[in-house]
Structure 1
């Protein structure tokens, strides 16, 4: 049998009430991917409708000739020995049938799961193994809490739970996570589904040639990818809906040999306990889930402003970009040594604590416990502990020579500086008091093993590289660098260094924007310049869309006869001309070209620079996989006078001298020299204002833009 063409992931629920018509969290969700293409996740209000829909999908996929893998997010079996105690058989499918014969599940979702759990508890001596219930005074055979239950006849958790790091137990019926109740309400459904034609159960039955295979899955295997997806998902997105689609895509993205290897990788006990598909491969599945999720095409309407907006305030324009843009770069796993400068695609967890063992912060002498006031003599043990030595064991009541950074031997938790002791006749002599734990570092006092080292969306710099190395990270899931194409337009432009005829000017925008992109740690793609020739511009945009993830153009972005950038974008049906209440600047042409976002900047170099810093820079950060980063500014007294009208946010070329902001003598947009003269911008809000020397204004140094 060939590999699978369709993947269905089911997020199950044991709820005792029917869900509302409107989709909700903690319900039943179905996520399906066919031939690599995900469908919209489906919401089911109750288990009856979910079972009917799953059966329908099974029949649809078989009719279409597509092999289907169906994953359910609850255990298919119990710890070894449980099935025999309940049914007299080790066959887990006999237990499925036992549940099907006893569990009643009404159309309104009321059910008798606690009654059946109480019946099973009566088979075992003592309390449990099932515990947790909705009413403290009902079902006396079910403990309200887990205290006092001994898991000596059967284990509390299965081998695959331990292998995958799942903390939940098959026997917990109430209080999140209610896995125990999900099993009771899920296995009867599986018992019926497995009787459908062509359906097999992995790893219980002969599944290798089956057209449809039911398998146990656990969304926790892709938790880092789910967290990152939710962080960038539209407001109101439901976690269950996100994770079923993400897991189906991850399984779909596995090559057939890799998936086959995972299906064949389970221990003997799995034939009774079941096994979580992908256990031990969480990093790989999370990588594939993130890769598929983090490279969606931007919506064609991502730049569309609300109808009726004519002059858009700067804050509204920025907020619109922040809400509608998403990462556009692929995600891959790279060795930690190659990760510097890249943006994390998911949170990174510490593989090892830092420091990994208790160690000494100074050169001195170590011993156990603190010492009271007075003179103390401790026998000096032979040898020493130095950085890199494996920790030994110190005889009680003795002291040992220790050097800075040395792992503390057992029996040492306190160190005194070498300057504070005397060595006499093989003894360490010192005055108390000495506080217990002095001059030592605890294991994990910086970072504990398993703690988050870095969040997703952060660029890895020197400090982050050190932290990753110190905590034992081998590989990091990162975004590829964002490729930004830069194209200048206009018949008046000539290349710097060439001969300019009357009426021509040198192209200043392209080198300026390429350097800005480099300073922002993106990869610039120089697309040269194009005259006022629409066919040539079309061809250059086509080439840019093949070579880059984002396109920045300058010039031709308004609505004049020679504004070919906006005209071509308009022809594609995806152009939005933003008239922004900003000075310098105002018109921005934004759109999509062959699925690649285009930022059409003004042709004036000063306006192009300001618009690139204020609008394009934070937008590029998000599309690169990073966070939205507003410029860092601070309030300073003005060293200038200005009377400002209401209506536009203004940015003045400025610098700090003697603690106050002075501005360039001219506000003319053609004065490129002002950009070089300036060390930052003064931002004046849209309201009317009268600025006189000493009035506080917001100053944003160019370093506040990350330059």
Structure 2
């Protein structure tokens, strides 16, 4: 068995970044940027007023002064002339500041009547003006390549005058659930059968991670069915299987895929849950084989599939980020495998408080759904007392 870190390193090393595509700005949120976004203009393009008021010269705008209002400049309609001594132009938020003015007299600090504005509060030069290029200048890099775009990034790209963005194509992840005993939700359940949760759970995980799931028909415990499932995954960027990866008589994923040229990089990880995880390749198609137990499958998705999607999407990938928490109960010593323990979280006075579920069976989806985090325990970690600090992966 190899370690989690070593296994993840081998998975990431065996993947390729997807190609680029151009998408409308409105569809770019959540995508990974392939080419840096540079500003096509300055923002703001000229000096603009940050408030409603009057464009004036600070030397004229002293308390009690009366200035002649020679025009107005609503946003989008700049004043055509310039301001001279003793003059003012009515402005609104976003209005271009006319040449000659060096400050803005707030409307609440002024009184206008009969074409004259009286200054009730003296002005300071450069007050309430957003200078041209204050946000960014033309040609400046706004967003670096490799960033997963947020709504804020979309707004910045729009301000930089980009209607389209080049992003990496979403990785296509084929998902093949295996086993005679499983059926899809809503279908008839045969004798000794159960409902398959893994395919839908993993499809939702792939979507949330930025991939495009392709859920394949269930493959029974039959070599030909598993081989046919692999054939259906052609065109995907990664094939993910669930079940059939252990050592039982009916664990047929490996022999079924060997008929399609499976080259196995590793099998079995020193972790719990999720020991029977494998990674290899069907010619040019990478394969990630997850365990059949749903909790094991999900934990492996967090540790391996999520980073794999990030790598294929143009990001580095790597280990999921961790935080620290304190235990609300004691935990016994860990054995030789790296352990990932489902737990709930609550905010304490000094940070997170983690409470592990008393039962950690890898078939219990109910506790997985209620879990807020996984407590990561290194191999051979000593017993931990209540209040001990632990490393967590928030879910």
Please point out which of 360, 366, 384 is paired with 1:673: 366
Q: Given the alignment of the two structures, is residue 643 of structure 1 paired with residue 332 of structure 2, yes or no?
A: yes
| Residue 610 of structure 1: how far off its partner (Å) | 0.2
Q: Which has the higher contact order (CA 8 A, sep 6+)?
A: 2
Q: Given the alignment of the two structures, is residue 508 of structure 1 paired with residue 201 of structure 2, yes or no?
A: no
Q: Whose helix proportion is higher, 1 or 2? A: 1
1:619/1:628 contact within 8 Å kept: yes
Which residue of the partner structure matches residue 686 of structure 1? Answer: 379
1:584/1:606 contact within 8 Å kept: yes
Please point out which of 409, 414, 430 is paired with 2:98: 409
Gapped regions of structure 2 (runs ≥ 5): none
CA distance in 1, matches of 2:305, 2:59: 59
| Residue 322 of structure 1: how far off its partner (Å) | 4.1
1:380-419 aligned within 5 A: 380-397=68-85, 398-419=87-108
Please point out which of 331, 335, 342 is paired with 2:31: 342
CA distance in 2, matches of 1:620, 1:370: 61
Structure 1 window deviating more from structure 2 (510-519 vs 690-699): it is 690-699
Q: Given the alignment of the two structures, is residue 557 of structure 1 paired with residue 250 of structure 2, yes or no?
A: no
437 and 325 in structure 1: CA distance in 2 versus 1, 3 angstrom threshold: farther
Which residue of the partner structure matches residue 156 of structure 2? Answer: 467
364 and 633 in structure 1: CA distance in 2 versus 1, 3 angstrom threshold: farther
Please point out which of 30, 33, 43 is paired with 1:354: 43
CA distance in 1, matches of 2:378, 2:72: 66
2:70/2:88 contact within 8 Å kept: no
Per-residue deviation, residues 504-525 of structure 1 (Å, max 9, x unmatched): 2221211111111122232211
512 and 573 in structure 1: CA distance in 2 versus 1, 3 angstrom threshold: closer
371 and 331 in structure 1: CA distance in 2 versus 1, 3 angstrom threshold: same
Which residue of the partner structure matches residue 71 of structure 1? Answer: none
CA distance in 1, matches of 2:337, 2:159: 49
CA distance in 1, matches of 2:39, 2:267: 45
Gapped regions of structure 1 (runs ≥ 5): 1-310, 703-707
| Residue 629 of structure 1: how far off its partner (Å) | 6.0
Please point out which of 224, 249, 263 is paired with 1:574: 263
* CA root-mean-square deviation: 2.4
Which residue of the partner structure matches residue 19 of structure 2? Answer: 330
Please point out which of 307, 313, 318 is paired with 2:8: 318
| Residue 619 of structure 1: how far off its partner (Å) | 0.8
2:334/2:377 contact within 8 Å kept: no
Please point out which of 374, 377, 389 is paired with 1:696: 389
CA distance in 1, matches of 2:296, 2:46: 56
Per-residue deviation, residues 583-606 of structure 1 (Å, max 9, x unmatched): 111222112224121110011111
CA distance in 2, matches of 1:672, 1:337: 36
CA distance in 2, matches of 1:623, 1:568: 26
1:585-596 aligned within 5 A: 585-596=274-285
1:526-537 aligned within 5 A: 526-537=215-226
| Residue 617 of structure 1: how far off its partner (Å) | 0.6
SS at match of 1:375: coil
Q: Whose strand proportion is higher, 1 or 2? A: 2
Which residue of the partner structure matches residue 181 of structure 2? Answer: 492
1:646/1:686 contact within 8 Å kept: yes
Please point out which of 623, 628, 634 is paired with 2:317: 628
CA distance in 2, matches of 1:600, 1:401: 69
Please point out which of 434, 456, 462 is paired with 2:145: 456
CA distance in 2, matches of 1:566, 1:415: 74
| Residue 638 of structure 1: how far off its partner (Å) | 1.2
1:370/1:414 contact within 8 Å kept: no
| Residue 533 of structure 1: how far off its partner (Å) | 0.9
412 and 564 in structure 1: CA distance in 2 versus 1, 3 angstrom threshold: farther
CA distance in 2, matches of 1:428, 1:630: 64
CA distance in 2, matches of 1:366, 1:687: 72
Which residue of the partner structure matches residue 379 of structure 1? Answer: 67
* Higher Cα Rg, which structure: 1
Per-residue deviation, residues 522-567 of structure 1 (Å, max 9, x unmatched): 2211102111111121111111123x22211101223444332223
